[in-house]
């Protein structure tokens, strides 16, 4: 069975990370590993060791030896920690919601369709608040929905020193080469969430390249959990949450 690594880059967003680990462990694909690259100065630590989850705490650019100034460089460094035996990488944003078959859907598709380097579904869910969820056509930049062959990701990598959003160089390269698979089946495996109260999105001011503005956004995104250790959402909590969110669409 091919191995997939879910790559999460986060800036200490404790509440999101707790949920996201639970969503990862709920995936129905067996040969998987979650790599969390936390680039906030305060470390994230799991309450109990889990062999399927690794946390790297580092807020210093591995090359320049200074603090990070752009997200592309964060991803570049995070990628160096992906195990050499991985075949695929899933971009696992901490604030997105992944249904239980997200990893298996992408890997199975790419294993059958060898001509493609990256995969996503055509449709995704959009969640705003506790009650509003809609089904949308993913005709825009939705890197969080994607699974990529690791060798291709290593080859192409990321845009560095760019805005907070458009740093996934591999995304545009795969599209340009005609090697981006867009699965047409209707039911999504991925959901973008508009946000939780008191937890700012790192891309909230992404069109502004001013360093001071970026630092302001980063500071507003801190949710360190007051020094508590990470206790991931449990299986029952995850399943109940997914059922509440998406049961109307499953029926």
Scanning the structure block, which residue is given the tokens 């995304």? 171
Query: What average pLDDT does this structure show over 165-192?
Result: 90
- Res 78 pLDDT > 90: yes
Which tens digits make up the pLDDT trace of 13-41? 888 999 999 999 999 999 999 999 999 88
**Whole-number Å distance between alpha carbons of 199 and 34:** 22
pLDDT at 208: 42
Q: Are the beta carbons of 92 and 55 closer than 8 angstroms? A: no
Going by pLDDT thresholds of 50, 70 and 90, the confidence category of residue 207 is very low
Query: What average pLDDT does this structure show over 36-65?
Result: 94
pLDDT at 235: 96
Q: Which domain holds residue 115?
A: 4-250
What is the total residue count of the chain?
251
Alpha helices by DSSP H, listed for 162-210, are: 169-177
Average pLDDT of the chain is 86
**Whole-number Å distance between alpha carbons of 79 and 149:** 13
What's the total number of domains in the chain? 1
Provide the whole-model pTM: 0.89
Query: What average pLDDT does this structure show over 149-168?
Result: 85
Report the CATH number that the domain containing residue 50 is assigned in CATH.
3.90.550.10
DSSP string, 42-65: S---BSS--TTEEEEE--B-TTT-
């Amino acid at each position: 069975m091919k191995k997939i690594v879910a790559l999460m880059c986060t800036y200490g967003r404790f509440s999101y990370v707790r949920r996201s680990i639970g969503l990862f462990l709920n995936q129905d694909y067996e040969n998987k590993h979650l790599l969390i690259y936390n680039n906030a100065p305060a470390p994230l630590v799991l309450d109990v060791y889990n062999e399927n989850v690794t946390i790297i705490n580092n807020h210093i650019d591995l090359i320049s030896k200074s603090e990070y100034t752009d997200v592309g460089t964060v991803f570049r460094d995070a990628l160096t920690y992906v195990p050499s035996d991985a075949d695929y990488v899933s971009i696992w944003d901490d604030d997105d919601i992944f249904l239980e078959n997200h990893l298996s859907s992408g890997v199975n598709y790419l294993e059958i369709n060898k001509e493609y380097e990256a995969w996503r579904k055509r449709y995704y869910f959009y969640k705003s608040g506790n009650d509003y969820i809609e089904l949308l056509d993913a005709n825009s930049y939705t890197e969080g929905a994607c699974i990529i062959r690791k060798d291709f990701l290593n080859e192409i990598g990321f845009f560095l020193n760019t805005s907070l959003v458009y740093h996934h160089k591999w995304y545009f390269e795969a599209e340009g080469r005609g090697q981006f698979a867009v699965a047409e089946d209707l039911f999504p495996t991925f959901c973008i969430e508009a946000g939780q109260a008191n937890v700012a999105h790192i891309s909230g001011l992404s069109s502004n390249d001013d360093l001071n503005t970026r630092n302001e956004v980063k500071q507003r995104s801190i949710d360190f959990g007051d020094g508590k250790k990470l206790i991931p959402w449990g299986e029952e909590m995850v399943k109940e949450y997914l059922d509440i969110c998406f049961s109307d669409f499953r029926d």
